[in-house]
């Protein structure tokens, strides 16, 4: 259980497993949000668009979200492609304090349930979730677009 007592909807983990194991080929990212009664975390959207920009476009400007993105990049050395799962905590500056608070204190519930995440990104504006910033973090400087 998280610090806030918020729980996890039963859909969340299977959706993530499908993405991780490639069972659901079309899914590229998953966006999670808090249910309307603020008692559990639910799957808001499964994204199928392959480009990264449509992922960042799916993040609201003034509310928080969690997301998992299946990040793919080429190695600089030319040794082929790599795929890494990346966990996002999206908490923009313009989000209401209350929302920021619930998301920050409930992150644990979701994050601990997901195994096999390679990198964690905390984003508070779009520059922090920009492709280059995340690439740098995920590939530890070894990747090129």
**Rg, Å, the chain Cα set:** 15
Shortest distance in whole angstroms from residue 131 CB to other proteins: 16
Shortest distance in whole angstroms from residue 97 CB to other proteins: 6
* Contact predicate 59/129, CB 8 Å: yes
Shortest distance in whole angstroms from residue 98 CB to other proteins: 5
Task: Find, among 85, 101, 110, 98, the residue nearest to 33 by Cα.
Answer: 110
Helices (H) and strands (E) in the chain, counts: 4, 7
Total residues contacting other proteins by CB under 8 A comes to: 30
Can residue 120 be called a binding residue for other proteins (CB under 8 A)? yes
Can residue 145 be called a binding residue for other proteins (CB under 8 A)? no
Spatial distance between the Cα atoms of 87 and 84, rounded to a whole number of angstroms: 10
Can residue 66 be called a binding residue for other proteins (CB under 8 A)? no
Partner residues linked to 103 by β-bridges: none
Which residues lie near other proteins (CB under 8 A)? 1-7, 37-39, 64, 89, 91, 93, 95, 97-105, 107-108, 111, 120, 122, 124
């Amino acid at each position: 259980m998280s610090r806030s007592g918020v729980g996890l909807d039963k859909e969340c983990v299977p959706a993530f497993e499908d993405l991780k194991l490639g069972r659901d080929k079309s899914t590229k990212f998953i966006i999670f949000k808090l249910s309307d009664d603020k008692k559990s975390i639910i799957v808001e959207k499964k994204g199928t668009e392959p480009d990264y920009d449509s992922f960042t476009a799916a993040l609201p400007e003034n509310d928080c979200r969690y997301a998992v993105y299946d990040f793919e990049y080429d190695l600089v050395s030319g040794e082929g492609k790599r795929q890494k799962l990346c966990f996002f905590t999206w908490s923009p500056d313009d989000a209401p304090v209350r929302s920021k608070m619930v998301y920050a204190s409930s992150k644990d519930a979701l994050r601990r349930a997901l195994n096999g995440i390679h990198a964690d990104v905390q984003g508070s504006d779009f520059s922090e979730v920009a492709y280059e910033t995340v690439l740098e973090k995920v590939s530890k400087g070894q990747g090129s677009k």
